[in-house]
Amino acid sequence: MLKDKVAIITGGASGIGESAVKLFAEYGAKVVITDVNEEAGKKLAEEVKSKGGEAIFVKADSSSAEDNKRVVDEAVKTYGKLDVAVNNAGIGGDAATVGDYTIEGWNKVIGINLNGVFYGMKYQIEAMLKNGGGSIINVASILGQVGFAQSSAYVAAKHGVVGLTKNGALEYATEGIRVNAVGPGFIKTPLIDQHLDQETQDFLASKHAMQRLGKPEEVAEMFAWLASDKSTFVTGAYYAVDGGYLAQ
């Protein structure tokens, strides 16, 4: 489905990003994994290669414009082109009301979750135009559509990602570049297990119509479809992968 496509996946060393790396490689893509966690990223690249796939790891901070440019340059240098980018890196940030949110905390969330997507797109688009097109998948959230108390920076950033996605889609639709957003619900990742007790996880699960948390691979399958030639008339869209959270 993704045979010989070159794909960058940011935040690719764990959680949803890790599942996407494995799935893309399984579908035949050449994957450029980026993350701040060098140990986990290198280990994942080796795992992909041990199973016959193609992958490299580039340590990068998504909130750095320079790092985003370097990732694109490495992808083109190694594989000759760029077809797909999944701008997945993100953090949850502090839990606080708007009036109590720290300036430092706000800037950190916006820097990674929104600025990072813009920086990625800026350099990814440049490379894709030389290649005649491509597919950019920006990872928003259900909170790119609705609010969530004590998460103002995250909610603002993810709403921004949806708007940025629509603008990019409009601007490059006739140049072969498709830009779409995916909005996962609450997904059961190691980060969730690490920071939330079972009672909290059960509460979050109850907010979804399916009464469970999502699985990383369920989100990765949506990425793969949007990255593939099966979705060639799809751009500027927002796809919730949320077990019915937004339907309620």
Catalytic residues: 154
Q: Is 207 left (phi over 0), alpha (psi -120 to 50) or beta?
A: alpha
Q: What is the sign, positive or negative, of the torsion defined by CA atoms of 246, 213, 189, 13?
A: negative
For tokens 């939330």, name the residue.
196
- The radius of gyration computed from the CA coordinates of the chain, to the nearest angstrom, equals 17
Q: Say which amino acid occupies 182.
A: V
